[in-house]
Structure 1
Amino acid sequence: MSAAAPQLLALAEKLLGGPVPVRIRAWDRSEAGPPGAPVLVIRHRRALRRILWRPGELGLARAWVAGELDVEGDLYEALDLLAELIWERPEAAEGERSGRGALALARDPEVRAAARSLARLAGPGLPPPPPREENRRRTGLRHTLRRDRAAISHHYDVGNEFYELVLGPSMVYSCAYWQDGGSLEDAQRDKIDLICRKLALREGQRLLDVGGGWGSLVLHAAREYGVSAVAVTLSREQAAYARKRVAEEGLTDRVEIRVQDYREVADGPYDAISSVGMAEHVGKARYAEYAADLHRLLRPGGRLLNHQIARRPLADEEAYEVDEFIDAYVFPDGELAPVGRTVGALEEAGFEVRDVESLREHYALTLRAWVANLESDFGRAVRLSSPGRARIWRLYMAASALAFERNRIGVNQVLAVKTPESGASGLPLRAREWNDA
């Protein structure tokens, strides 16, 4: 049998309609493609069977998680080259918008012939089952209390030590705020403090942190600003870790950590509410309810800081589909909305939106720092989770860093006020006075 890599390269160029910018190494150790380029390693022909039986992103993701696909060389460069080839070609974008891309390819005789050749290379047999890390146990409607708990558990209840390795000492799992070339820990502390200043926290106030993570924000707010704080999370592992930190800092009289859905919070009003990296889990069908619930829990004159990843708007918003890899392996049932839709929902709930700040480039830097943490001790990451889980995180964080850098997605802090009937918002006349602190 002739070498596999040259055959794969020729088939890929035929299927994709252009040169392949990465080098290919096949299971038989053969190689083909441009020298010096990142190498796409196909360790086993099982990867081809996965892709043939589930064409598109999910088949590729399953092969990656199973270790049947890998990249040698610069992962960021490889992902950038492959994204430009597969997803950013004008004809690919048009096919996605029209919904006719796959149908047109299936009718192309050359493409059908290439697919048959690929099937011969893949060998006989059904594809292996999906990797165990794939979330396949979803029942009921999206964004019910029960299903949301299961989705959050899938992502966050994988071991606090694993998160310590990736996130570092700050234990903050959201975009940092980079200033003057400091460390990741400095940038996360500065982000948390920026949120506290935007909320104008002061001693004696009550703060609700929705999706409170490992407690970093409420600890800072109680320690540095003297507030009484409640953090709610659906992750039991997060809550246990956060409670331990609260006890160690002697703040149990001022900080409460609850395993609770934001829809179940009933002890308002609060003087301020923060929601950082949580609204992405809410879902478009529930976003109006989310905004209304936060409005209900806030006192008149109170402030909301909503920190949320945003996607680019589409010409046909109904055509939006959740990313298959992210949905199956990272954030089940997560959905992104354009920032304009978020602002609109908050306004419709009764909030006055006073400030929107984009931190897009900051998130790219944050993700690259997390990838560096993971890669620096990858063997331990595997031991703390699984080989598949560590590979998922490496791929999703590196690809996400590129997505922020290329403006495919963004992240925004939206500051809103529950302005009372008097119209007194309590905001300074001079814009962004918090930046002077």
Structure 2
Amino acid sequence: MVPPPDIAVSDEATDTPGPTEATAPDAIARLDSAPQQLVAGMLGRADIRIDGGRPWDMRLHDPGALERALAEGNLGLGEAYMAGAWDCERLDAFFDHLLRAHIDREVQPARLAWHALQVRLFNRQNRTRAWQVGRAHYDLGNDFYEAMLDPLMAYSCGYWRDVDTLAAAQEAKLELICRKLRLQSGMRLLDIGCGWGSFMGYAARHHGVEGVGVTVSREQAEWARERYAGLPLTFRLQDYRELDDRFDAIVSVGMFEHVGRKNHRQYMEVAARCLADDGLFLLHTIGKNRRDAVPDRWIDKHIFPNGETPSIGQIGDAIDGVFVCEDLHNFGADYDRTLMAWHDNFEAAWPRFAERLGETFRRKWRYYLLSCAGAFRARELQLWQWVLSKDGVRGGYRRPQ
């Protein structure tokens, strides 16, 4: 998951605004530099007040946080929050306001130019680097994720249609995927990026399939092997590029965000190589609205190393001549509710992890979950389920309700 785009000033935004109603008078007095006042003015256009009294207003403890945001975008803003330089009662609402006002579209932080160049020129998700996210993020500790997630350990967007709990939303999502793939007893299933095995376990128990799941997280693989030891499931610690088996159906839930633009085409070719001629492939992925958007530097450094959210156009390019798109389903607004449920679980369980992880981690994780919730609420990020076939479903494909 990727939080809001970088926040900094573009070359066009050169005028320094004077005091506005969006900033309390006592706060204005503390903004003693033009950069600080410039950021305050930008926030004001998003209806965010410095030291205001509304839940989405910024409570500023160190005015230098504004200069960091100006110079380093979301990297500076997020690290200033982690350091306690500012607070907000509702970070999710803060980012919703910020992105709804399209402040991110005005900004091009010069200090992040090298990051943007790396993304465009280098393969940041090659066979060696692909394992970094497993160690840095997914291997934080299974007990930590058990406390934050639902009982099945599904770490992706739930489907909240006609349900009102996280557990029910995740089961509804898993069942929806099974029906979209038209799973039947005895089918052989591949799960690319299987996580803790939530989908494979559900599909085996409720639809009688057998299957193989691959992950780059040692913790996930070990947990899944123990949890589903009695089912005809195999969990491999393996890069997707090494796959060369044949399967009746393929699923990939919340993994494509780690593939990267340099590897999109190869990923699709691997999936086609492994899929039976009459099989279906369901790709469940977060999506971005603009092809040219650069991965957020804060989340790249602190949450998901080498992550890159795809656009519709990039996925279209990757499947061109390889797959037929049978169905494209967007329920990105459901990710807002999923993230807020994870956040509630995280905060409730925090006393168990406070000594082990520390307050800086708590602020980092809160910023991650709530900034992403705000981005989905603002519709800056999407959640897509693509149903793909190799040669087109004869007679057409109908999405199950």
Tell me by how many angstroms 1:196 deviates: 1.1
User: Higher RCO, 1 or 2 (CA under 8 Å, sep at least 6)?
Assistant: 2
* Alignment match of 2:238 (pick from 227, 242, 260): 260
Q: Deviations over 1:174-219 (max 9, x none)?
A: 1111122331101101111111111111111110000000011111
Check conservation: 2:330, 2:385, Cα contact below 8 A.
yes
* Alignment match of 2:194 (pick from 169, 191, 212): 212
Aligned length: 363
Q: What are the residue-to-residue correspondences of 1:203-242 with 2, within 5 Å? A: 203-242=185-224
2:381 maps to 409
* Alignment match of 1:172 (pick from 141, 149, 154): 154
The 1-side partners of 2:159 and 2:219 are apart by 26
SS in 2 for 1:377: helix
The 2-side partners of 1:325 and 1:171 are apart by 25
Q: Deviations over 1:53-74 (max 9, x none)?
A: 9532212222222334332x23
1:64 maps to 81
TM-score normalised by the chain length of structure 2: 0.82
Tell me by how many angstroms 1:43 deviates: 4.6
The 2-side partners of 1:214 and 1:37 are apart by 35
The 2-side partners of 1:287 and 1:367 are apart by 26
Q: 1:199 to 1:18 in 2, by over 3 A?
A: closer
Which piece of structure 1 moves more, 276-285 or 75-84?
75-84
Whether 1:322 aligns to 2:322 is no
Matched AA of 1:360:
G
SS in 1 for 2:282: strand
SS in 2 for 1:275: strand
Q: Output the aligned Cα RMSD.
A: 2.8
Tell me by how many angstroms 1:377 deviates: 2.9
Report percent identity of matched pairs. Answer: 36
1:287 maps to 264
Whether 1:197 aligns to 2:164 is no
Tell me by how many angstroms 1:244 deviates: 1.2
The higher radius of gyration belongs to 1
Check conservation: 2:260, 2:308, Cα contact below 8 A.
yes
The 2-side partners of 1:18 and 1:398 are apart by 21
SS in 1 for 2:384: strand
Check conservation: 1:347, 1:353, Cα contact below 8 A.
no
SS in 1 for 2:388: strand
The 1-side partners of 2:375 and 2:165 are apart by 22
Whether 1:245 aligns to 2:227 is yes
Matched AA of 2:275:
L
Whether 1:74 aligns to 2:56 is no
Q: 1:308 to 1:206 in 2, by over 3 A?
A: same
Tell me by how many angstroms 1:240 deviates: 1.0
1:345 maps to 318
The 1-side partners of 2:171 and 2:336 are apart by 17
Whether 1:390 aligns to 2:362 is yes
TM-score normalised by the chain length of structure 1: 0.76
Matched AA of 1:211:
G
1:313 maps to 290
Check conservation: 2:375, 2:381, Cα contact below 8 A.
yes
Q: 1:384 to 1:271 in 2, by over 3 A?
A: farther
2:248 maps to 271
Q: What are the residue-to-residue correspondences of 1:95-106 with 2, within 5 Å? A: 95-96=106-107
Q: 1:329 to 1:230 in 2, by over 3 A?
A: same
* Alignment match of 1:373 (pick from 345, 348, 353): 345
Tell me by how many angstroms 1:299 deviates: 1.2
Tell me by how many angstroms 1:41 deviates: 4.0
The 2-side partners of 1:53 and 1:340 are apart by 30
The 2-side partners of 1:42 and 1:280 are apart by 33
The 1-side partners of 2:196 and 2:146 are apart by 10
Whether 1:431 aligns to 2:398 is yes
The 2-side partners of 1:340 and 1:379 are apart by 44
Tell me by how many angstroms 1:150 deviates: 1.3
Whether 1:335 aligns to 2:301 is no
Tell me by how many angstroms 1:406 deviates: 1.4
The 2-side partners of 1:364 and 1:306 are apart by 20
Q: Deviations over 1:101-144 (max 9, x none)?
A: 869xxxxxxxxxxxxxxxxxxxxxxxxxxxxxxxxxxxx95112
Check conservation: 1:158, 1:385, Cα contact below 8 A.
no
